[in-house]
């Protein structure tokens, strides 16, 4: 599928891409996005969390020069930072970008580092949403690792989305937890160290807890509140369906 005239994607083009990718292997979706649809104009946003290694493996097989964007919030588990470095070395990515929050904004609005406990939405805005918005500015598309099975709010997640003129590609959207586990075994991928300690979804240390085996994968994020997402994933109407 060639890029639209003038490079502007619209709802029709997105629908065509979703029809094309229905049931396709994530590797095929990723290859089309990186080499055909958005060459030189796409980045992968990775949390280096519990399931991140599989998508990184698939991308490394296609183009390890693709920019990898990591939100270094200053609140990560040390295990996450170690895992990031291990995977970056394993896959030999040449353009891993660490996105830091604006130090001036942090000094003004979170001087003692406890904003996460009093206003988690603002904390995510400062440490995740704002840095990612700045980093994505040069790109026409970005890749996420979201999947439908992770929570009820993601049950209808498409492979391709359009937001503010930028494309989001979700190659793993249709894969189940069993598919992900099989992929880890196939590629002999190392698990995030905290997976062995009962963490299914791993974010910032103050806002992440262990969950029971039968709980939703994201039940350990912002436990005890209605918040289930940091807010970087909005819909075209400006809402965030993952926060409910």
Q: Is the pLDDT at 241 greater than 50, yes or no?
A: no
d(C-alpha 71, C-alpha 144), whole Å: 13
Query: What is the per-residue pLDDT across 77-100, written as a single tens digit (0 to 9) for each?
Result: 999 999 999 999 999 999 999 999
Asked if residue 123 belongs to a domain, the reply is yes
| CA–CA dist 80, 160 (Å, integer) | 28
User: Does 160 map to a domain?
Assistant: yes
Could you tell me what percentage of the chain is helix, strand and coil, using 3-state DSSP and rounding each to the nearest 5?
Answer: 45, 10, 45
- What local confidence, expressed as pLDDT, does residue 217 receive? 63
Asked whether residue 107 carries a pLDDT value surpassing 90, the answer given is yes
The answer to the question of residue 100 being in a domain is yes
Provide the H-helix boundaries in 92-228: 103-109, 115-118, 120-124, 130-136, 177-187
- CATH code of 43's domain: 3.40.50.620
219 found inside a domain:
no
Q: In this model, does residue 153 exceed pLDDT 70? A: no
Of 219, 203, 152, 178, nearest to 211 by C-alpha is 219
Q: Looking at 123-132, 174-183, 197-206, which range is the least confident one?
A: 197-206
CA distance 141 to 163: 10
Tell me, yes or no, whether 176 lies in a domain. yes
Determine, yes or no, domain membership for 201.
no
Domain membership of residue 240 (yes or no) is: no
Mean pLDDT of 12-33: 95
- Show which residues are catalytic: 230
**Backbone region of residue 41 per phi and psi (left: phi > 0; alpha: psi in -120 to 50; beta: other values):** alpha
Number of structural domains, the chain? 1
Pairing of strands 166-169, 141-143: parallel
Q: Which of 67, 92, 91, 73 is nearest to 142 (CA)?
A: 67
Q: Please tell me the predicted confidence (pLDDT) of residue 60.
A: 97
Distance CA 169, CA 243 (A): 20
Model-level pTM?
A: 0.87
Whether residue 169 lies inside any domain: the answer is: yes
Question: Domain range spanning residue 142?
Answer: 5-195
Place of tokens 């502007």: 8
Percent of the chain with pLDDT over 90: 68
């Amino acid at each position: 599928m060639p890029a639209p005239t003038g490079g502007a994607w619209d709802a029709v083009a997105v629908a065509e891409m979703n029809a094309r990718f229905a049931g396709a292997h994530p590797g095929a979706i990723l290859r089309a996005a990186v080499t055909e649809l958005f060459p030189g104009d796409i980045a992968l946003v990775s949390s280096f969390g519990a399931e991140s290694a599989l998508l990184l493996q698939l991308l490394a097989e296609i183009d390890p020069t693709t920019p990898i964007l990591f939100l270094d919030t200053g609140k990560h588990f040390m295990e996450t930072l170690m895992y990031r470095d291990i995977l970056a070395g394993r896959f030999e990515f040449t353009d891993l970008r660490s996105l830091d929050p604006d130090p001036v904004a942090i000094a003004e609005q979170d001087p003692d580092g406890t904003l996460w406990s009093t206003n988690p939405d603002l904390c995510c805005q400062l440490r995740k949403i704002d840095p990612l918005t700045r980093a994505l500015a040069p790109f026409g598309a970005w890749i996420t690792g979201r999947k439908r099975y992770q929570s009820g709010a993601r049950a209808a997640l498409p492979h391709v989305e359009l937001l503010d003129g930028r494309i989001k590609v979700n190659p793993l959207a249709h894969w189940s937890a069993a598919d992900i586990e099989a992929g880890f075994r196939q590629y002999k991928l190392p698990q995030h160290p905290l997976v062995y300690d009962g963490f299914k979804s791993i974010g910032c240390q103050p806002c992440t807890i262990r969950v029971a085996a039968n709980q939703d994968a994201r039940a350990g994020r912002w436990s005890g509140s209605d918040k289930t997402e940091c807010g970087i994933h909005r819909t075209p109407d400006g809402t965030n369906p993952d926060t409910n």
